[in-house]
Amino acid sequence: MSTVTSHRLTRRAAGPGRRPARAAAGTPVPRGMRGPVALSLLPGLVLFGTFFLVPFAVLAVTAFAEWGGLDFTWTGAENYRRMFTDPVFFKAFGNTLFYAAASVLVQVPLGIAVGMVLALRPRGWKALRTIIFVPFVISGAAYALIFSMFYNPRSGLLNNVLGALGMPGARDWLFETATARWAVAGTFVFIIGFVVVLVMAEIASIPRELYEAASVDGATTWQQLTRITLPLLRNVIGTAILIRLLVDIGMFDLVFILTAGGPDDATATLALYAYRAYVAGQWGYANAIGSIIILIGLVLILTVRRAFRIGERTL
């Protein structure tokens, strides 16, 4: 049996009539169309400027000031100096990384595996796909409330099931320092619907001839999954990881409703900590924390895009 490798697929995909590896950049706009094109872009640019650039500029500038809405005093890098000596900031930073890592290490691999299996269209795959996707469309607040009941030490499903199985000692999962962070992560790491749908859509776009050729070559289903499907999912895996990371570094509503960041900041995130600063009237400090979140986001975008060569196609 000959081996179907991703290398071969790449070479074959680069042949005549195939899409080029990189899209052509900077296609010039015809001279007569420049006015209409500029006009059509204007509403988008105004909205982008109003709702992104201006708030971003305000955040970047006020991060260097002591500001509570009324009094405004330039303090230079004082907010950043304070941040880097603030133990709660580092706790929140560590928790944010923990949640992001939990997503990437559990949610993404699990979503890919389930997506690949469902793409084989086993019996009931449509119903399964719908069931798996439902948690993704529930609002974050409602979702958090469901899990606050699930973890309730007195009446929650978890403790009742554990009790029925004979496991001793009902725990207050969300409010014990040892379990709180894991309990919060447990609420979202199994929400795989988004990754599953992304993976299934990408698999549907893979030409069937590849599988037919592999089948003729004697490749098993497992080999087709691991040597055709998985390598061609590189783009979508990178996209799923990137989206999850960006969602997780801004995580707020889930933690705020479940634990308010407690106990003793064991579950606090950077976004929640920035919110606390805002509520305390320390808008400058809140914006300094916000600027760090943006910076982390930019680093993640660049790193993940480069690592997974998102946007480049080999087929």
Partner 1 sequence: MRDWHLEGWVNADAFSGDFQNAAAPYLTEEAAMVANGPWFVSTNLRTDAAAPGLYEHTGYAPAPGWTEGERGSVVVSGAGWVSGAADEREAEAVEAFVKFMTSEAEVLTQAEQTGANPPVQVAPEAAAAADLEPLSTGLAAEAADLTYRYPHARVLGPAGLDSAWKNLWPAYVEGDMTTDEFLQRLTDDSSADGL
Residue in 242, 261, 241 with CA at minimum distance from that of residue 251: 261
For residue 213, the minimal CB distance to partner 1 (Å) is 58
For partner 1, give the closer residue by CB, 64 or 285: 285
Distance separating alpha carbons of residues 230 and 51, to the nearest angstrom: 38
Query: Looking at this protein, which amino acid is placed at residue 280?
Result: A
Q: How many CB atoms lie within 10 A of CB 276?
A: 20
Q: Using the rule CB under 8 A, is 123 a contact of partner 1? A: no
For partner 1, give the closer residue by CB, 264 or 312: 264
For residue 263, the minimal CB distance to partner 1 (Å) is 4
Please check whether residue 66 is in contact with residue 78, taking contact to mean a CB–CB distance below 8 angstroms.
yes
Q: What are the φ/ψ torsions at residue 74 (nearest 5 degrees)?
A: -65, 130
Residue in 153, 135, 132 with CA at minimum distance from that of residue 143: 135
Which parts of 81-120 interact with partner 1 (CB under 8 A)? 88
Q: Which one of 98, 175, 190, 211 is in contact with partner 1 (CB under 8 A)?
A: 175
Which parts of 36-75 interact with partner 1 (CB under 8 A)? 68
For residue 165, the minimal CB distance to partner 1 (Å) is 19
For partner 1, give the closer residue by CB, 127 or 279: 279
User: What's the token pair of residue 2?
Assistant: 């000959």
Residue in 308, 283, 290 with CA at minimum distance from that of residue 75: 283
For residue 68, the minimal CB distance to partner 1 (Å) is 7
Nearby residues of 235 by Cβ (< 8 Å), 6 or more positions away: 202, 308, 309, 310, 311, 312, 313
Q: Which one of 152, 179, 215, 223 is in contact with partner 1 (CB under 8 A)?
A: 152
Burial class (CB in 10 A: 0-12, 13-18, 19+), 200: buried
Q: Which one of 177, 220, 221, 303 is in contact with partner 1 (CB under 8 A)?
A: 177
For partner 1, give the closer residue by CB, 273 or 308: 273
State how far Cα 288 lies from the chain centre: 22
For β-strands 72-74 and 65-67, DSSP reports them as antiparallel
For partner 1, give the closer residue by CB, 43 or 87: 87
Which parts of 273-312 interact with partner 1 (CB under 8 A)? 273, 276-277, 279-282, 285
Distance separating alpha carbons of residues 246 and 281, to the nearest angstrom: 26
Q: Which one of 10, 75, 148, 215 is in contact with partner 1 (CB under 8 A)?
A: 148
For partner 1, give the closer residue by CB, 231 or 262: 262
Stretch that binds partner 1, among 118-126, 130-138, 175-183, 200-208 (CB under 8 A): 175-183
Stretch that binds partner 1, among 55-63, 112-120, 168-176, 215-223 (CB under 8 A): 168-176
For partner 1, give the closer residue by CB, 151 or 188: 151
Distance separating alpha carbons of residues 301 and 315, to the nearest angstrom: 23
State how far Cα 66 lies from the chain centre: 32
For residue 159, the minimal CB distance to partner 1 (Å) is 9
Whose tokens are 């988004």? That residue is 194
Q: Which one of 110, 213, 260, 310 is in contact with partner 1 (CB under 8 A)?
A: 260
Q: Using the rule CB under 8 A, is 266 a contact of partner 1? A: yes
Residues that bind partner 1 (CB under 8 A): 68, 88, 148, 152-155, 170, 172, 174-177, 259-266, 268, 273, 276-277, 279-282, 285
